[in-house]
A and B are shown apart, each in its own frame.
Chain A
Amino acid sequence: MSWQKERIDMNIYSQGEVDKWVYSTCNICSIGCGCHIAVKDDKIVGIKGNGQHPINRGRLGPKGENQWYANNSSDRLLTPLIRRDNGQLEPASWEEAMELIVSKARESLERQGSNSIAIYSTGQGYLEDYYTIAKIGRAGLHTHLLDANTRLCTATTEFCLLQSFGADGTPASFDDVDVTDTLMLFGHNVAETGTVLHERIMQRKQREGKPYIIAVDPRHTLTARHADLHLQLIPGTNVALLNGLVHLMIKNGNIDRQFVEQYTIGFDEMEQSVADWTPEKTSKITGIPVEQLHEAARVLGETPSMVTTTLQGTFQSADATTACVAINNMHLIRGQIGKPGCGPLHMAGQPSSSANRTAGGVGTYPAQRNPMNPQHLQEMADLWNVDEATLPAGPEKGIEEQLDMIEQGKVTFFWNIGTNPMVSLPNRRRARKALESIFVVVQDPFLTETAKVADVILPVALWGEKEGTMENADRTINVLRKAVEAPQGVKSDLQILIDFARRMDLKDKDGQPLIGYSTPEECFEEWKTVSRGRPCDMTGMTYDKLEQHNGMRWPANEQHPTGTPRLYSDYKFPTDADYSQSYTKDQFSGRALSRDEFVSKQANGKAILHATRYLPPTEQPNEEYPTWLTTGRLVWHWHTRTKTARSPYLQMAAPNAYVEIHEEDAAALSIVQGEVVRISSPRGWIEVPARIGTAVQKGLVFVPFHYGSWEGHESANDLTADFTDPLSKQPTFKQAACRIDKLRKQHIVVGEESADYIAEQYQLTVEHLLQANRLVTPYDIQSGQTLEVPISVVNAPIPPYIPQRG
């Protein structure tokens, strides 16, 4: 492992010694750091890193260290709420709330059928929750509308892996990052989204000079600043860049012909698709100089080992799945997969979004079963002891398609579990209008922005108050023990789901309760039987083993009793039609292929190379909206800040949204540092302070998406467009068009008013006043002159996070 020694990061607030430390896993990002929860007087009072856990050896990120404050927040919901006839949410008993939910679910099923119910869950719950959602949703309610906010986060990982390898499961792991010669961070700002992994990478870099790091990002992020080569491309041109690089690698002869011949199909078609992507054409579209393209292609073509990671800069961009498939292509043509230090490592955003994909709470059927394969559905029917005819078949629908269905009156019951879509969905005002029109259940510990559309709110347990497992970004399953009882009046997601199934009288073929387990561990044991023989086989795991081993990577079974650090080391890929998780989709349109079409490819255990056709972003800067808008994350906050805003430390570090503007763009508009400006898009507008610098390229602005109060006018998703990737159906948050408008008052200079005097009247500095008016010295101000005065200038510093603390 890369860590040379452990370092126990700790954050406790306790008078006197804590009573106990309870084994757990960080519930923030997708790295999956091991930790222990401090408990005193039956309350969570802190956290420390687990020095034995190979992922982090005791380290924690800033969000991880501060996640526990939310548990003790005074605004926890402690009773269900029901929206009454007066339009207000008012306290109710669990009995009343659950009976209302059940009656509405029954009404929806009777009136409009099984697909009138949608369950939209999370990437921050536990595997046991997701598996139970899958079972209740598919075998109990017979709905095919199971989705989650993982659609916004990690759907592209799943679908690019299905396309290339036939099943989900990222091939490389963090162990490969530790030994690789070259690391390409493609749209992956790991320094801010996965601080512990970044520290792990940079420690080795400092020690050994390796890996050579290539960062691909339109912004000059903290990650890019640590890279050896930063490819700062124009937004929405990922596929163009990759096509250009693959073109050069082929031209340079950097192909492992033997590997391609023996272990892949589709090379000719793939080669043809990049044939005209010359460096000149690629440079013109991506904005990257030809010399840099040659250098990148040389490094990638000659390096003895390479890991490529991807995250939201790829997943939430135009051509998301095709870009990730192009990365898979690149690894396959070089034969750099299944070997130490080699392979694509498509990340996840959230701590357990991978578990949701694996357990079938979103996307395909549980344990990577193909929803278009009758044999797979029969297996599920047998495992669940239900009639196969009642299990819905066919490709899934993403949240944006579900919103379409709501608008068409086809979905009337929406169950929202552990996510805050009224902040996180693109073009959120459209989503709000849709959800306001139907019955919405919200499960959340807090009254979030999504409460606005809720008819019932169920208060749920947080991390530390329940037991279960999570899957991180590199297939590691970690266990989280229960540290304290949930506050009185609060239930876990799993308890609520089981109660719902009981009240709905969901039964199997023999009249037995559909959900036969009552604890998370019992659920996990059932899940293991479902996973048997599948790529994600977990039959070799138990809660105790997961704790003893500090996590295990699937598959973990008799053949691999301690798990599998790297997939495809035998170069056998799960592309046999009877076994594969998908018959794949048309790489351009996203149309699901039939079994016959898939069989005709004759993959049969070989990986699939696809043609990668470039399609420009749906929305681009234009006359009315001349600037690119991109959105993203800050190191100090997690998603919609439901937890992180309740940490005084994190909230103080980054209390408000802002817009990052390139200094030349700001100068052209005479915008001053901190000036509140209006950013408009065809969907809406926000008013936030400008942070002027060089992190963004010219013509691009960046807005963090964490801030979404309905009153604040600072929500990035008031601006974003709700277009999606054709294959993964992941929204393209990273590209939209916008306009910057100054918010100014006018001041007519009277008599001998000085610059100092005028600036003071408006609480500005003289420098800002001059800059706002393109004046050089105070003496340029003349009597009778009309000056522009910014309506507000806000100091919006974001303190840097220093991950390498020694």
Chain B
Amino acid sequence: MNPLLPYCEALSEDVNQVLEQTAPMKHPLIELIRYSLEEQQEALKKLIPVLTADSEQIPSDDNVSHQQPSNSDQHTDQSALSLDQIRPYLSILYQNNEVAEPTMRAWVRAVHWIPSFETEHTEQIRNRYKHMREQLDEIAVNLREIYGQAAIKYVVPTFYLEVSL
């Protein structure tokens, strides 16, 4: 299995859930968040089939858990995809998270300040974003293992991959 796949699937689940929970909400910050989520959803709809197809091409390895990505540094064992094939989708996932995560935090503050905005989903959405961040961190680690730091430097923002001094 392509090691990115389970994380992207988990990310997709989060994105879909937050879109569902925010659908009835009317708030300027929610408009911004949903705009980013919709772009991420579209990107994932295209990326996941690519990763799935790639998984089918990777030789079966009994030692590799399909639930958790491998830590192998043998790129060919992990993916036959070139970075260029998935770069546009990854860029949209990361850069949208970069703008949506602080917007979500701002929305949580806004909800707290104006009680009429209070929603039962606030905490759930906050947790979803934490989970999304975890997936993106894991995807970044795997991308570095597969393609190397230099190749992904301009795909994954520095805040997901610290520079080793």
Contact = CB atoms under 8 A, between A and B. Distances in A.
A660 to B, nearest CB: 23
A594 B32 contact: no
Interface string A381-418: 00000000110111101001100100000000000000
A450 B106 CA distance: 24
Contacts of B163: 113-114, 142, 389-390, 392
Interface in A598-628: 615-619, 622-625
Given A109-B165, A726-B99, A622 B114 contact: yes
Contacts of B91: 594, 597
Interface residues of A, number: 46
B159 A683 contact: no
B88 A594 contact: yes
B99 A683 contact: no
Contact of A395 (B32, B98, B149): B98
Contacts of A389: 149-150, 153, 163
A616 B28 contact: yes
Contact of A591 (B29, B39, B149, B159): B39
B7 to A, nearest CB: 20
A111 to B, nearest CB: 11
A397 B158 CA distance: 11
Contacts of B98: 394-395, 591-592
B153 to A, nearest CB: 5
A682 B106 contact: no
A90 B163 CA distance: 36
A358 interface: no
Contacts of A395: 95, 98, 157
B113 A619 contact: yes
B13 interface: no
A596 B35 CA distance: 20
A589 B99 contact: yes
B129 to A, nearest CB: 12
Contact of A618 (B29, B88, B150, B154): B29
Which interface residue of A404, A589, A726 has the most chain B CB atoms within 10 A?
A589
B162 interface: yes
Contact of B153 (A393, A591, A593, A619): A393
B103 interface: yes
B106 A394 contact: no
Interface string A570-592: 00000000000000000011111
A792 to B, nearest CB: 28
A682 B113 contact: yes
Given A389-B150, A723-B106, A724-B106, A588 B158 contact: no
A227 B151 CA distance: 56
B116 A394 contact: no
B35 A588 contact: yes
Contacts of B157: 393-395
A599 to B, nearest CB: 12
B87 A594 contact: yes
Interface string B14-42: 00000000000001110110011001000
A44 interface: no
A619 B158 contact: no
Interface string B110-123: 10111110000000
Contacts of A397: 159
Nearest to B96: A591
Contacts of A400: 102
Contacts of B116: 622-623
A700 interface: no
B88 to A, nearest CB: 6
A726 B32 contact: yes
A727 to B, nearest CB: 9
A144 B158 contact: yes
A724 B91 CA distance: 23
A590 B103 CA distance: 11
B32 A589 contact: yes
B105 interface: yes
Contact of B106 (A142, A624, A722): A722
Contacts of B113: 619, 682-683, 721
Contacts of B159: 115, 144, 394, 397
A527 to B, nearest CB: 24
Contacts of A392: 158, 163
Contacts of A374: 153-154
A374 B151 CA distance: 10
Contacts of B27: 618
Nearest to A145: B159
Contacts of A477: none
A372 B162 contact: no
Contacts of B115: 624
Nearest to B40: A591
A730 B39 CA distance: 24
B110 A115 contact: no
A596 B88 contact: yes
B9 to A, nearest CB: 22
B162 A115 contact: yes
13 contacts: A113-B162, A115-B162, A389-B150, A390-B165, A392-B163, A393-B158, A394-B157, A395-B95, A589-B99, A591-B36, A722-B109, A724-B106, A726-B103
Interface of B: 27-29, 31-32, 35-36, 39, 87-88, 91-92, 95-96, 98-103, 105-106, 109-110, 112-116, 149-150, 153-154, 157-159, 162-163, 165
Instruction: Give the 4 A-B residue pairs with the shortest CB-CB distance, closest first.
Output: A682-B113, A113-B162, A394-B157, A392-B158
Given A618-B28, A737-B114, 19 more contacts: A114-B162, A114-B163, A389-B150, A393-B157, A394-B159, A404-B101, A404-B102, A404-B105, A589-B39, A591-B39, A591-B92, A592-B98, A594-B87, A594-B88, A596-B87, A618-B106, A624-B114, A624-B115, A682-B112
